[in-house]
Amino acid sequence: MSNPSPQSRKRVLSGMRPTGKLHLGNYMGALANWVRLQHEYECYFFIADWHALTTDYADTSQLPDNIRDVVLDWLAAGLDPEKCTLFIQSQVHEHSELHLLLSMITPLGWLERVPTYKEQIENLAGKDLATYGFLGYPLLQSADILLYQPDFVPVGQDQVAHVELTREIARRFNQFYKRPDGSEILPEPQVLLTPSPKLPGTDGRKMSKSYGNTILLSDPEPEIRKKLKPMVTDPARVRRTDPGDPDVCPVFDLHKVFSGAETQARVREGCTTAGIGCIECKTWLADAVVSELAPMQERRARFAEGNLVKDILNEGCKHATARARQTMTEVRAAVHLPPEVCE
């Protein structure tokens, strides 16, 4: 299915919170997949800035920089504004409109039972998350999704429960409200589970901003080398003369993702025979990561010039708004709300 006509292409929607500069884990976990999807599907990708406010409402001063950094990383990674629609959630007012409408039909118990709700409240114990907005987080996500009537929602395992809730909300909506011909307005979208390879950070734990063990897509070469040098290795390989086991080494996990088969074979041979040292092994890894990121960083620098990001987001907003309004016109009619009359 190469280059299907726009009309026949299935629709994909996904979002990301504006967490600031993205790291290799974000890239391998979601972004690289989005870049592939844009060639086959009609794609809508947005910055979930309202979602950021559900947990980070106290100090919002970093929001503009964080949004810009994420968009720049998207463009750097290869999302092409000619191929997909990139926009900011809060600029398309229909997200908040549909969220409010869906809140009318959502039983509280459904939200309280979402597994991420209690988990996150415990994980982020320093923040007061006993708020209305935080409880509504997954419902806002349902509105984000249903607004575009997508076929697929590419997400990681951690978001599957939210798409499941979205499907339940769609079913409930469709029971109450229908088109004049009786057909359903909000189809149930399917999860497109993102395959993500194991990607450890420099301390051997999962790469994550909150662990401070990340390598950023925008890290310059010296920074990448500096971060990789002290990376955790096979703990049994204490001395240079001890042979190591790549299969228990986080450095090798990164080789599997970024190095070619040849380098991986050289590492395996050299490590298990104590023929190479870990410093050398990490140099090879740094070479591979640097060459993977170099073209991205060039693109990032190009897109950072002038008003490019703003122009891309403005275009994206217009396109997304037009699509969202199609849905809302039908939704409002089915709910017997008066039609919109103002621009």
**CA 133, CA 151: separation in Å to the nearest integer?**
27
Complex with ligand TRP: residue 26 or 259, whichever CB lies closer: 26
Closest approach of ligand TRP to the CB of residue 287, in Å: 31
Residue 66 as a binder of ligand TRP (CB under 6 A): the answer is no
Q: Would you call 15 helix, strand, or coil by DSSP? A: strand
- Asked if 190 and 160 count as a contact pair (C-beta separation under 8 A), the reply is no
Instruction: State the minimum distance, in angstroms, from the CB of residue 239 to ligand SF4.
Output: 11
Q: Residue 100 corresponds to which tokens in the numbers above?
A: 């409010």
Of 159 and 259, CB closest to ligand SF4: 259
Please report the DSSP string for 164-214 in residue order. HHHHHHHHHHHHH---TTS--SSPPPEEEEPP----B-TTSSBP-GGGT--
Rg of the Cα atoms in the chain: 23
Distance of closest approach, residue 205 Cβ to ligand SF4, in angstroms: 16
| Residue span binding ligand SF4 (CB under 6 A) among the ranges 116-124, 147-155, 201-209, 232-240 | 232-240
Q: Which residue has the tokens 């999962």?
A: 206
Query: 12 in helix, strand or coil?
Result: strand
Which of helix, strand or coil describes residue 336? coil
| 15 part of the interface to ligand TRP, by CB under 6 A | yes
- Select from 118, 170, 164, 125 the least CA-distant residue to 143: 170
What does the per-residue mask of binding to ligand TRP show for 139-178, with x meaning CB under 6 A?
--x--xx-------x-x---x-------------------
Q: Which residue, 33 or 159, is less far from ligand TRP as judged by CB?
A: 159
**Does residue 52 interact with ligand TRP by CB under 6 A?**
no
- Sheet containing 42-47: order of strands: 85-88, 42-47, 11-16, 152-155, 190-193
What are residue 216's DSSP bridge partners?
A: 23
Binding-site residue total for ligand TRP (CB under 6 A)? 13
Per DSSP, the residues of 287-319 read HHHHHHHHHHHHHHHHHTSTTHHHHHHHHHHHH
* Of 14 and 66, CB closest to ligand TRP: 14
Nearer to ligand SF4, 140 or 271 (CB): 271
Residue 267 contact among ligand SF4, ligand TRP, none, beta carbon within 5 to 8 Å by kind: ligand SF4
Of 42, 73, 97, 234, the residue at the interface with ligand SF4 (CB under 6 A) is 234
Stretch touching ligand TRP by CB under 6 A, among 13-21, 168-176, 260-268, 309-317: 13-21
One residue of 278, 286, 313, 324 binding ligand SF4 per CB under 6 A: 278
Which residues are near ligand SF4 by CB under 6 A?
233-234, 237, 244, 246, 249, 251-252, 267, 271, 276, 278, 281-282
Which residues are near ligand TRP by CB under 6 A?
13-17, 48, 51, 141, 144-145, 153, 155, 159
